[in-house]
Structure 1
Amino acid sequence: MPFGLTNVPAVFMDLMNRVCKPYLDKCVIVFIDDILIYSKDEKKHEEHLKAILELLKKKELYAKLSKCEFWIPKVQFLGHVIDSQ
């Protein structure tokens, strides 16, 4: 979806919020096409990753593997550094 059109980011953000609604603020944060999956421990993280990737696949939305980072203890997201502390 080209983001050059004025309303496209808002429409896509609405779509992502509807798709991820069951997990928002529980284990997922979404901002347009950026998705952050977070968990308290590795076992839960594996469950959350699987659930979100299956949800995206079901809705025919796909993550570009080259842009994904998995199992990292610290991440920069929307200009903030987030870690376990």
Structure 2
Amino acid sequence: MSKENESSNMFDEHVFPKRIAPKAKGTNFEEARSSDTSTKERCQKLLSKLKSLQETIEEVTQHQAFLEITDKKQDVE
């Protein structure tokens, strides 16, 4: 193998390691469950924030529509 080829292979192995899957943080089942729980809690909090934002958007949209109708009535009068 040429020197160029060797250095290319070393570069590839350094930049693109052969290990495909990352190592597990904890092999303990309970540890894995606790991280799932915290992930679930974060998702639930984000979901509740999303619902709150959707409600706010609906309220603003309704208020904007009301203002547009009011403006049109004033233009007619």
**What is the TM-score of this pair, normalised by structure 2?**
0.27
Higher relative contact order (CA 8 A, sep 6+): 1
**What is the TM-score with the length of structure 1 in the denominator?**
0.25
Structure index of larger Rg: 2
Relative to its length, the structure with more strand (as a share) is: 1
Which structure has more helix as a fraction of its residues?
A: 2
